[in-house]
Amino acid sequence: MIAMFPECEDPDTRWVLNNALKFWRACPTKRCRRARMCVGDSKRCHAIFWPVVPEEAQVFWRAALDALRENRSTRRADTAAADFRKHRAALRKLQRRNEL
């Protein structure tokens, strides 16, 4: 199973995302590392590296792609990432409280 989100079924979107996150730096394809951009199989590369992208960054990129698709400002993505940070902080606080 390929670990990616549905927005990345579009090869152009996946290519942009792979390059924005600089997956080419650790890509197993030498051509990508030499070119400093994705020039290989973007679907394979995305499947390898997307799962290790921090969850906050995944939330941001999903929101950014949603905003672009709906012709809205990408400021919404910043808001989504901030909301995620607040939610995660609250969850950690509850977990710490339960550990005591």
Statement to judge: residues 65 and 45 lie in one domain: no
- H or E element that contains 21: none
43, part of any domain? yes
Statement to judge: residues 97 and 60 lie in one domain: yes
Query: How high does pLDDT run on average in the chain?
Result: 82
- pTM given for the model: 0.68
How confident is the model at residue 1, as a pLDDT?
36
32: confidence class by pLDDT, cuts 50, 70, 90: very high
Statement to judge: residues 34 and 58 lie in one domain: no
Question: What residue numbers bound the domain in which 43 lies?
Answer: 8-53
For residue 24, is pLDDT > 50? yes
Helix axis angle, 75-99 to 55-69, nearest 10°: 150
1, part of any domain? no
For residue 2, is pLDDT > 50? no
2, part of any domain? no
Residue 28 tokens, joined: 């197993």
Residue 89 half-sphere exposure toward CB, CA atoms < 13 A: 6
How confident is the model at residue 22, as a pLDDT?
93
Statement to judge: residues 78 and 97 lie in one domain: yes
Across the range 85-94, mean pLDDT stands at: 82
